[in-house]
Structure 1
Amino acid sequence: MMMLFAFAMHLAQQMLAHARLLEAAEVASLAVAAQNEPTQAESEQLAKAIVDFYIKDNVGDLAVSVDQDACTYASGCMQEAGELAPSMQTDVVVQAKYNSWLAYREIGIEDQFELKGGSLSKRYLPKPVDVYFIVDFSYSMSWSWTNGEPKFDIVKETLARVVEQLRLYNQYNQDKSRIALIGFNKYSVRKVSGKRVLYNMDIYDTTTETVARMFEDKPPASSYYQYYDYYYPKNFHDVPLTEDYDHFLAELDTMTANARYAGTHSWQGMLRSAVVSNEATNLNPDQVFIVLSDGHDNEITYNGVRTNRYLKMLVNSGLCQKLFDNMRSKKGRHGEAISVKAGVIGIDFLLDKESNGFYDCVGEKNIYHASQGPDVYKYILQMLNEETGRLK
């Protein structure tokens, strides 16, 4: 009876101690996984501090080890495991020594015993993305927001903040997130041999033909438009898809939106984005198209009728459906399926549902109204769906 009693007491002590040890390891594992950019020493220090807080009845120092392993596209782990997003696994193992409540050497119960346990946490990481910012460079973008801030200055500051966020996400991925800028007013503008050149992406007579040939590049606009800067200014240019963020920001810094006679033809940006995205290679799994604009499209004459619904006509002819389906038909750089997201942010501007083609292009739930500067950044991150990760 005494041996049975001693055995039961020892087993109960071990079970209670082991449960507490596992709980401490789990909390430590979650805490380490939630950190941003920790060193190995910092991770181990945090884990040990948490375990020390939980376990008070041990003898001597606790032995705590932390091991982290990334599961990414490039390593092949995601494909093998069938994961939908890259992840970081954090394994915390704890070893502790205890004094036995009762010692009974005749049945193998010594004065002290050791226990070991661990916990594995998984943090899902941001996927690498390709982001196409389709930005309005009409004259009104130089005007002040209702709170007095110049709209284009806010856009530039916001894109700089997004770049810094992408730098943070890139630490988790061998394949880096990339960013492109596609500007528009009445024209598209590119930098050719160091000079800005106007391009008209809409050179056909009908919306049907324009959409049918949307992935074909277009020749530069005629010399009349190239040199008549007063009416056809060149104060911006495209920045191709790049992971060189410093180059992107340096190019953006040279751009303005203060050209007095620059109107808004948003279809120029959408048609140009079709060419740029179609020509892109080594695609990341998420393709994101974000339009930033502050006003209605200007009226044009189509089939002898003045209209401000030209984008809507192009969308009804299949512009956006064809653009997004084309991207979904491709494969990512590691053979993975492509996801496409798109949205429009009205810069101090409410889009009209009846006339504005973007409602039919991206869907009403992806139309945002930025009533103040911080809203722009908030909505961009919301569309990117890039969080600091979730724990499991």
Structure 2
Amino acid sequence: MNMLNKPLRSLRDFRNDRRGAFAIGFVILSGFLFSISILGLEGSRYIAERARLSDAMEQAALALTAENNGEGAERNYTLSKAYFAAYMPREKAVLQPNVVVKYGVSPGNLSYVEYRVSGQTQQTSWFSSTFFPTFSQDMLVGGNGAARKFRSSIDVMFVVDFSGSMNEPFGTSGTKLSELKRIVLQLVRDLYQYDAGNKAGLVPFGWGAKEGSRCDFPFVPYYPMPVDILALNPTLQFQKNINVAATVAAIPNNVNSINIPLSAVSEGNCLKMSYSWKVPLTSDYARINQIQSMTASGGTLVSSGVLRGASALSVGTAPRKVLIIVSDGTDDPEKITLTQELMNAGMCNRIRQAISTSQSVGKIAFVGINYRPTANWQGCVGNKNFYLPSTVEQLEESLHRTVFEEVGHNILKDQ
């Protein structure tokens, strides 16, 4: 009997002593709590990663609507992956994104293009174990983004410097003018392909321009301009006779108040020795292609082209209008400040108003080829529409952006 008392007493003591029970419970519970902590930490990390991936895909969708490369273009995937990698540089892998292009018409009868981008990135878990519940060693985080850009027809007027300096070499094998011709023609082809309703036009300028057998100046003079005033180089007498306020007020009227025959001016004025002419807004590529045979000669007075270009663009009927000014030098001679005076009097705002429509604010862009202008074109057109390319590649990119860089807006994405 005594031999049984001792083990029985030990059992009674173990039953009455609860410290062991708490220890066992703590051991069991601590593993569960640790697992919950790990899941919470990694889970919040993956939620943050998914949010970053969604931001990347929304930005990628915006970029794709701006470029609008079309369904299946390889550029769609390389650009999307580049955005993913930039937003999420520490990921183990970026999988091939999925890009869907949709076209439609809004309730307001505006056509649009829509890009939807979805994708996944592979992540490595910080804590992964087979002993307690955690995330897998490799996790896929996915999401999507969407953007839409409304497509309406556009009128584009190229106001192009045809002064003699445009014949200078540019790039490896061409001149400023030859490279500009090539780029403009490619842009026009793309413009017509993009929408059959798009139109383009051309206004060449030097120190003034020409119309038939006379000089063409879009300025309002105080008094009749002397016929021989440009028989030699341009002088301040010409500038002093221009009524700047009246000239700005007349925008976008087609002013023809200065009557000087080409026979009365020197070779550097009015594009006298240049084989060039205006091409009004047209959807006929053959007419724009006439730029191929045009030649450059003479001096530079940018405002003479800008005002004439604004008049030619204002008669367009498209919902959106863009005036693109391309030049490679400042007005000459240096003492001529007529362009800046017109700017100071409100020329740029007046043009913008004249080419604005009920659907869009008129856009003016300035492209300065390999030079820094003395007139404040940056203030005139705004920082986003001001370009100073110094290479052929930069010129091509700048002109493409002036025409096609219309960024869309993000829309509701897939859940």
Specify if TM > 0.5: yes
- 2:191 equivalent to 1:151: no
Cα pair distance change 1:68/1:143, threshold 3 Å: closer
SS at match of 2:281: strand
1:339 aligned onto 2:361 = yes
Cα distance in 2 between the residues matched to 1:201 and 1:220: 8
Aligned residue for 1:180?
A: 201
Matches within 5 A, 1:66-85: 70-71=104-105, 77-79=106-108
Q: Amino acid of the residue matched to residue 254 of structure 1?
A: S
Matched residue, 1:310: 338
Could you say what secondary structure the match of 2:380 adopts? helix
Query: What residue identity is the alignment partner of 2:108?
Result: Q
Higher mean displacement: 153-162 or 370-379: 370-379
Displacement of 1:298: 0.9
Q: Name the count of aligned residue pairs.
A: 269
Choose from 153, 171, 190 the match for 1:128: 153
Equivalence map 1:7-18=2 (5 Å): none
Partners of 2:219 and 2:257 in 1: CA distance: 12
Residue 267 of structure 1 corresponds to which residue in structure 2? 303
Change (3 A) 1:221 1:89: same
Residue 299, structure 1, aligned to residue 333, structure 2: yes
Read off the aligned partner of 2:192 and give its amino acid letter: R
Q: Distance in 2 between matches of 1:343 and 1:68?
A: 30
What does residue range 59-208 of structure 1 map to in structure 2 within 5 Å?
A: 70-71=104-105, 77-79=106-108, 86-87=112-113, 124=149, 126-145=151-170, 147=172, 149-170=174-195, 176-190=197-211, 198-204=215-221, 205=241, 206-208=243-245
> Quick check: 1:235 aligned with 2:275?
yes
Structure of higher CA gyration radius: 2
Give yes or no for contact 1:87–1:123 (8 Å, CA) kept in 2: yes
Q: Distance in 1 between matches of 2:265 and 2:303?
A: 22
The whole-number CA distance in structure 2 between the counterparts of 1:144 and 1:129 is 32
2:295 is paired with a residue of what secondary structure? coil
Say which SS state the counterpart of residue 79 (structure 1) adopts: coil
How far apart in 2 are the matches of 1:317 and 1:274?
16
Match among 70, 74, 86 for residue 36 of structure 1: 70
1:201/1:218 contact within 8 Å kept: yes
Q: Distance in 2 between matches of 1:67 and 1:346?
A: 35
Secondary structure at the counterpart of residue 263 of structure 1: coil
Q: Report the alpha carbon displacement of residue 200 of structure 1 after superposing the two structures with TM.
A: 1.4
Residues in 2 aligned to 1:311 and 1:67: alpha-carbon distance in whole angstroms = 45
Name the amino acid aligned to 1:350.
Answer: R
Cα pair 1:185 1:263 within 8 Å, conserved: yes
CA contact (8 A) 1:89 1:122 kept: yes
Q: Which amino acid aligns with 1:129?
A: I
Amino acid at match of 2:355: M
What's the offset of the Cα at 1:126?
4.3
Find the aligned partners of 1:69 and 1:216 in 2 and give their Cα distance.
38
The reply on whether 1:225 has 2:288 as its aligned counterpart is: no
Alignment CA distance shift 1:235-1:339 (3 Å): same
User: What do the CA deviations read for 1:5-45 (whole angstroms, capped 9, x no partner)?
Assistant: xxxxxxxxxxxxxxxxxxxxxxxxx9xx987378xxxxxxx
Structure 2 partner of 1:374: 393
What residue number does 1:95 align with? none
* Match in the other structure for 2:236: none
Aligned residue for 2:108, secondary structure, equals helix
For residues 347 and 160 of structure 1, the distance between their equivalents in structure 2, rounded to whole angstroms, comes to: 17
Structure-2 separation of matches of 1:37 and 1:227: 58
Q: Deviations over 1:334-360 (max 9, x none)?
A: xxx2232221111122224xxx13123
Q: Which residue identity lines up with residue 318 of structure 1 in the other structure?
A: G
Q: Which residue of 2 aligns with 1:286?
A: 320
Judged with a 3 Å threshold, the aligned counterparts in structure 2 of structure 1 residues 255 and 197 are, in CA distance, closer, same or farther, namely farther
SS in 2 for 1:370: coil
The CA distance in 2 between the partners of 1:363 and 1:388, in whole Å, is 17
Q: Which amino acid counterpart does residue 327 of structure 1 have in structure 2? A: I
TM superposition shift of 1:238: 0.9
Q: Which residue identity lines up with residue 275 of structure 2 in the other structure?
A: N
> Secondary structure at the residue paired with 2:388?
strand
Q: 1:363 aligns with which of 367, 378, 382?
A: 382
CA contact 1:315–1:360 (8 Å) conserved in 2: no
Structure 1 residue 202 displacement after superposition: 2.1
* TM superposition shift of 1:317: 0.6
Q: Give the fraction of aligned pairs with identical amino acids, expressed as a percent.
A: 23
1:297 corresponds to which letter in structure 2? D
Q: Give every structure 1 segment of 4 or more consecutive aligned residues whose post-TM-superposition deviation is greater than 6 Å.
A: 387-391
Tell me how far apart the structure 1 counterparts of residues 355 and 190 of structure 2 sit (CA, whole Å). Answer: 24
**8 Å contact kept, 2:71–2:101:** no
Whether the aligned pair in 1 keeps the contact of 2:155 and 2:313 (CA below 8 Å) is no
Letter of the 2:348 partner, please give it.
C
- The one-letter amino acid of 1:238's match is K
Q: 2:350 aligned with 1:322, yes or no?
A: yes
Kindly provide the CA deviation profile for residues 279-318 of structure 1, in whole angstroms up to 9, marking residues without a partner as x: x142x22211111100011137xxxxxx343211101111
Which blocks of at least 5 consecutive residues in structure 1 are unaligned?
Answer: 1-29, 39-65, 72-76, 91-120, 301-306, 332-336
Say whether the 8 Å CA contact 1:126–1:389 is kept in structure 2.
no
Q: Which amino acid aligns with 2:280?
A: P
Whether contact under 8 Å (1:311, 1:357) holds in the other structure is no
> Partner of 2:251 in structure 1?
214
Q: Which amino acid aligns with 1:178?
A: K
Distance 1:197 1:88, change over 3 A: farther
Question: SS of 1:339's equivalent?
Answer: coil
Amino acid at match of 1:345: V
Q: TM-score, normalised by structure 2?
A: 0.57
Q: Does structure 1 conserve the Cα–Cα contact (< 8 Å) formed by 2:219 and 2:257? A: no
